């Protein structure tokens, strides 16, 4: 069974600075996707960034980038130029890319606070 571990329950950062959230996962699959989701107090899960395991290049989306280390099974999220609106819970998630059920496996989350 796949597992996702987020070892930082809470983090804080000053506005405009950079912060990195950690995620490790365990799987025997070779073809899969990894995600970072943001969950603000509005409760809706919002996709921040997605990485296909077969792509060696790290995904980037504006101020958000990942460091994907497939051999180490590590998938960290870097937020540059942090903004107050980045304050939220952040969840790392895994899904195997094969036929059948598409089941997202989530970590327990990291609560990020951006301070003015």
Partner 1 sequence: ETGVTQSPTHLIKTRGQQVTLRCSSQSGHNTVSWYQQALGQGPQFIFQYYREEENGRGNFPPRFSGLQFPNYSSELNVNALELDDSALYLCASSSVGHYGYTFGSGTRLTVV
Residues between 41 and 80 that touch partner 1 (CB under 8 A):
42-47, 50
Rounded to whole angstroms, the Cα distance separating 65 from 48 reads 9
- Establish if 28 lies at the interface with partner 1 (CB under 8 A): no
Name which of 23, 110, 114 is nearest 69 in CA terms.
23
Q: Which is nearer to partner 1, 62 or 101 (CB)?
A: 101
CB of 79 within 8 A of CB of 18? yes
Among 13, 24, 58, 105, binds partner 1 (CB under 8 A): 105
Percent of the chain that is helix, strand, coil (3-state, to 5): 5, 50, 45
Span near partner 1 by CB under 8 A; candidates 21-29, 54-62, 77-85, 106-114: 106-114
Q: Which two tokens stand for residue 101?
A: 């059920």
Q: Which is nearer to partner 1, 82 or 96 (CB)?
A: 96
Binding site for partner 1 (CB under 8 A): 4, 33, 37, 42-47, 50, 91, 93, 95, 97, 100-109
């Amino acid at each position: 069974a796949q597992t996702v571990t987020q070892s930082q329950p809470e983090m804080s950062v000053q506005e405009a600075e950079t912060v990195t959230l950690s995620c490790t996962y365990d799987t025997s699959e070779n073809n899969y996707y990894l995600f970072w989701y943001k969950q603000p107090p509005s409760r809706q899960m919002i996709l921040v960034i997605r990485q296909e395991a077969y792509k060696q290049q790290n995904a980037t989306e504006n101020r958000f980038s990942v460091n994907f280390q497939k051999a180490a099974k590590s998938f960290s999220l870097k937020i540059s130029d942090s903004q107050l609106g980045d304050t939220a819970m952040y969840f790392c998630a895994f899904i195997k890319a094969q036929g059948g059920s598409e089941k997202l496996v989530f970590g327990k989350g990291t609560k990020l606070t951006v301070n003015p």
